[in-house]
Structure 1
Amino acid sequence: MQIVDHGRVSVGCHVANGWTVVEATGEMDIFTSPMIRAAIIKLLQDGHRHFVLDLCPTAFLDSMGLGMIVAITKRIQAHQGSLRIACADQRLLHIFSLGGLRKSYAFHDSVDEATREVPRHNGLGRWPRPRD
């Protein structure tokens, strides 16, 4: 299901094994981040709690995009939800490292890997402390 379709970004979502997979295709920047954030907040309001943010098709991520991910993480945590990130692109992963967030999230190389296990209750209970 397509939830945002704009020239610089499109966001779609589907459910897989109890996870709401949000796929961001294009750029995640100062212009597009508010649209992505609003789409995820709407999904939370509709009852979705456990998310995989699929950054595999994301071409660009800047500090505003990273800030938006932190903001939605806080929202998801407030709803006792979970967030995993699917991303194998070393350029994008480096941005998380520069922001000091590489160890704070569960990263997976693909959506299939991220959704292999069903969500556990309150998967963000320890966030933002680094993962072991």
Structure 2
Amino acid sequence: MAVRQSNSGQRGTKPLLYDTGRAPPVFHEVTSGAAAQGKRRTGLRIARERRTGQRAGAGSRDRQSERHGVTLKVTEGRQGGWVVLHVSGEMDLVTSPVLRQGVHEAVAEGRRSIVVDLSDVMFCDSSGVGVLIATRRLIRSCRGRLRVILPARGAVDGSHVNRVLAALGVRRLFDVYPDVAAAVDEAREPLSA
């Protein structure tokens, strides 16, 4: 970070400008919408609007990311009082924000019981694990419930995430279930870590 100082050369002078290398923020006059009416919007919605150009609620409930040949698809469904987010594809640095967006939208709608079905995820890196941990933190902060569906460790398809979470020692943080039916059943206990 470069700091320009005043020309006086005196000791203890405060910097006049901090140059971070980033473009300065652009402010737009608000003429319509919630902000014009004096209502607050969450930072998540504002950031998404800047990034995508769409307002919250616009678009489908089927989120998908296809960048650089990597695909992640998040489909939202409801079963009982639970929101079920079925995730398929590869969760990495490029695609994992799709899951984060799905979770944030469900929480913004007031949903506090969420099942994340990872049985069709074929690859997960540290950013995907980070999204899962952030999801857990978000749900706990609003006193919600999070359940994760992972296939058994011996399963051929989809067990990659199970192995990654176990190797990192974070699998114990989640209530893991073998399938959606077990996850939404209030009487069922989670699988052991």
Under TM normalisation by the shorter chain, which class is it?
0.7 to 0.9
Question: Distance in 2 between the 1:104 and 1:5 partners?
Answer: 27
Residue 23 of structure 1 and its aligned partner are, at CA, apart by 0.8
Q: Which residue of 2 aligns with 1:15?
A: 78
Structure 2 gap segments, 5+ residues each: 1-59, 152-157
Question: Distance in 2 between the 1:81 and 1:46 partners?
Answer: 13
Question: Distance in 1 between the 2:62 and 2:143 partners?
Answer: 23
Structure 1 gap segments, 5+ residues each: 119-130
Question: Distance in 2 between the 1:69 and 1:14 partners?
Answer: 19
Amino acid at match of 1:46: E
Q: Which residue of 1 aligns with 2:139?
A: 76
Asked if structure 1 preserves the Cα contact closer than 8 Å seen for 2:77 and 2:83, the reply is yes
Alignment of 1:13-92 (within 5 A): 13-88=76-151, 89-92=158-161
Amino acid at match of 2:63: V
Q: Which residue of 1 aligns with 2:61?
A: 2
Cα deviation per residue 1:4-58 (whole Å; 9 max; x = unaligned)?
1223111111111211101111111111111210221111001110111000111
Match of 1:97 among 163, 166, 191: 166
Question: Distance in 2 between the 1:2 and 1:46 partners?
Answer: 13
Tell which structure's C-alpha radius of gyration is larger: 2
Amino acid at match of 2:122: A
Aligned residues: 120
Cα deviation per residue 1:80-122 (whole Å; 9 max; x = unaligned)?
101111111432211111221122211111111111228xxxx
Q: Percent identity?
A: 27
Superposed CA RMSD in Å reads 1.8
Q: Which residue of 2 aligns with 1:108?
A: 177
Q: TM-score by structure 1 length? A: 0.83
The runs of 4+ residues in structure 1 deviating greater than 3 Å are: none
Q: TM-score by structure 2 length? A: 0.58
